[in-house]
Amino acid sequence: MENSKSALLALEDGRVWRGRSWGATGESTGEMVFNTSMTGYQEVLTDPSYAGQIVCMTYPLIGNYGVNNEDPESARPWVEGFVAREFSRMASSWRSEESLETYLKRWNIAAIDHLDTRALVRHIRDKGAMRACLSTIDANADSVIEKARNSPPMENRELASVVTTKTPYAFPAQGDERFHVVCYRSDGHETRRRVSFKRSRRSRVDDGGSRASEAGGAIGRADVWYLLWSSTFGTRLRWKNI
């Protein structure tokens, strides 16, 4: 691109927004959606339910308190791209361990700001979620629009195997164990769903006196029932802290 700091966001219906490149250099496609949270952008980035999507934050300033190792909902970010009215150049918080820009570059996530996010949100709110392409390397609007149109649709995409754990793990209950909750991917139409324990959800489960286990797609229903009832369950799963 003529300006190395410029970026372009195009929707499949032909709408285009130009802005400033932020984060990693590159190109990504995904379903364009928005999030209205005033805080918690790190939780949004790492939420498995946003896999395959480009997320626009409606709050106008994002990144002002940096990122840390305590707030992620999973071990890695899942968004395909990130959009905001303005990304903060400064991270001002005693909890900050890394700037948002450095974090996005480390995880190779392209982002764009300095665009009219209100117009973008109103458009996808009125027209519905649609495919999009975010590029920091292609300045040709027609080309980026075509890439959005050629990207895979979200309908019937199998993302459960992408976001779920490959190895079963468990977290002990806090205090006396009263229940055992197992999150796993079942057969049939449910395999298209994203099945994973978000960190905040898991903490609410084990704080309530329940052992929280995630099996993902690694085991079947019969194994789940065995794990629920077997006294040797703890020896069959790898204990893991995230």
The alpha carbon of residue 237 and the mean position of all alpha carbons in its chain are separated, in whole angstroms, by 26
Model pLDDT, residue 163: 77
Model pLDDT, residue 61: 97
Which of 49-53, 211-215, 221-225 is predicted with the least confidence, judged by mean pLDDT? 221-225
What digits encode the pLDDT tens for the residues 52-61? 999 999 999 9
What mean pLDDT comes out for the span 154-160?
83
Q: Give the whole-angstrom CA distance, residue 98 versus residue 111.
A: 17
Which of 118-127, 158-167, 174-183 is predicted with the least confidence, judged by mean pLDDT? 174-183
For residue 231, report the phi and psi dihedrals to the nearest 5 degrees. -75, -10
Model pLDDT, residue 23: 94
Considering only residues 83 and 178, tell me which one the structure prediction assigns the higher pLDDT: 83
Q: Which domains does the chain have, with CATH numbers?
A: 6-150 (3.50.30.20), 160-239 (no CATH)
Model pLDDT, residue 54: 98
Considering only residues 178 and 229, tell me which one the structure prediction assigns the higher pLDDT: 178
pTM above 0.85, yes or no: no
Considering only residues 232 and 180, tell me which one the structure prediction assigns the higher pLDDT: 180
| For residue 21, pLDDT beyond 50 | yes
pLDDT confidence of 164, banded at 50, 70, 90?
confident
Model pLDDT, residue 185: 55
Bridge partner list, 21: 112
Model pLDDT, residue 232: 41
| For residue 42, pLDDT beyond 50 | yes
What digits encode the pLDDT tens for the residues 180-215? 676 665 544 333 344 455 555 555 554 556 666 666
Q: Give the whole-angstrom CA distance, residue 32 versus residue 144.
A: 14
- The burial class, CB within 10 Å (0-12 / 13-18 / 19+), for 8 is buried
Model pLDDT, residue 158: 79
Tokens representing 5? 């700091």
